[in-house]
Amino acid sequence: MTSILLLSEPDLVAIGLTLDETLALVEHAYALQDAGKADVPAKVGVHPSHPNSFLHAMPAWLGGERPAVGMKWVSYYPGNADRGQPDSTGIIVLNDPDTGLPLCMMEGMYITFLRTAACAAAAARRLAREPKRLGLVGCGGLGKWSLRFMRHVFPSLEAVYVSSRRPESREAFCAATHASSCSVMPVGDPREAVVDSDIVVTSVPPTDSPPVKAGMLGDDMLFIPLDVVNSWSPDAMQDFDCFVADSTEALAQRMARKLGRDMPAAKPMLATQSLITRDARPAKARGRMFVGVCGIASIDIAMAWAMYERATSLGLGTRYRVR
């Protein structure tokens, strides 16, 4: 008989993957990618008639001593929250690398939040210089995990300023995450979260009025839009001195769609894989750096495989017989 292990979000939380373990998994996946030991095709997507919606298929294979293969199927339907439903949903399917048989199906958004924030933190700790102030624009799941990881990799943080569309959401976020060693304060104007911050992390839905405008960013800072292109206005492009991305091709394509033209050729761009595995640095050591986390499936699958192995050893999940 063939069975598939089903893992819910509570199962994944119960596994108890630590922040350090998560960062190590992210960096290992980057190393495999950099060494040519991963097969990560471009996302395949469909775009239903619902405005700005999409469903993406994200397959990946990782080699090395512990091979892994699988796919994430993720959807985004903005406006679902107004109907009491999540805007984003995801499912990850893992297959046996030797036989191709399906092994596990798990909830995908928990890993998506975890790995996206971890990717940002992994890049940031190689670029930032003992940051004191963090700005968060958007305080949903990505904002929550970003704060956890940034606090973890930067003990130097002293203050966090949080902006969001709704006052009640940012006030509740700040009340739940405030700490004596690092104050977390709500601000009504996104400018207050951006100006003078050493690192700015944004996670906002598509909007006709992006909160980050030209001239708002400090001279030496990291700008990490986990929404990639939603949070900044096109005129802010001129403010960035260099770019870092886990997929330079994907970032260039999304930038081109955002700007209506290709990115300026004079702007240097570095792959996150090189930054992490070769300890590379942008040609310009200081300046405003744009860090793009476009989302490569190898990170999801590396983390999902670790979750699957841990869940199996702990006896978590539910078995579903398929044959």
> What's the predicted TM-score (pTM) here?
0.93
């991963």: which residue's tokens? 38
CB atoms closer than 10 angstroms to residue 211: 22
Q: Is 126 exposed, middle or buried (0-12, 13-18, 19+ CB in 10 A)?
A: middle
Spell out the SS3 assignment of the chain.
CCEEEEECHHHHHHHCCCHHHHHHHHHHHHHHHHCCCEECCCCEEECCCCCCCEEEEEEEEECCCCCEEEEEEEEECCCHHHHCCCCEEEEEEEECCCCCCEEEEEECHHHHHHHHHHHHHHHHCCCCCCCCEEEEECCCHHHHHHHHHHHHHCCCCCEEEEECCCHHHHHHHHHHHCECCEEEEECCCHHHHHCCCCEEEECCCCCCCCCECCCCCCCCEEEEECCCCCCECHHHHHHCCEEEECCHHHHHHHHHHHHCCCCCCCCCEEEHHHHHHCCCCCCCCCCEEEEECCCCHHHHHHHHHHHHHHHHHHCCCEEEECC
Q: What is the mean pLDDT of each run of 10 residues along the chain (323 residues)?
A: 91 97 97 95 91 93 95 93 90 96 96 97 93 96 96 96 94 90 93 96 92 92 95 92 92 90 79 88 74 95 98 96 81
Token pair listed for 265: 């050729």
Pairing of strands 133-137, 159-163: parallel
304 vs 12: CA distance, rounded Å: 9
98 vs 296: CA distance, rounded Å: 23
Question: Domains plus CATH for the chain?
Answer: 3-112+297-321 (3.30.1780.10), 127-292 (3.40.50.720)
281 vs 315: CA distance, rounded Å: 43
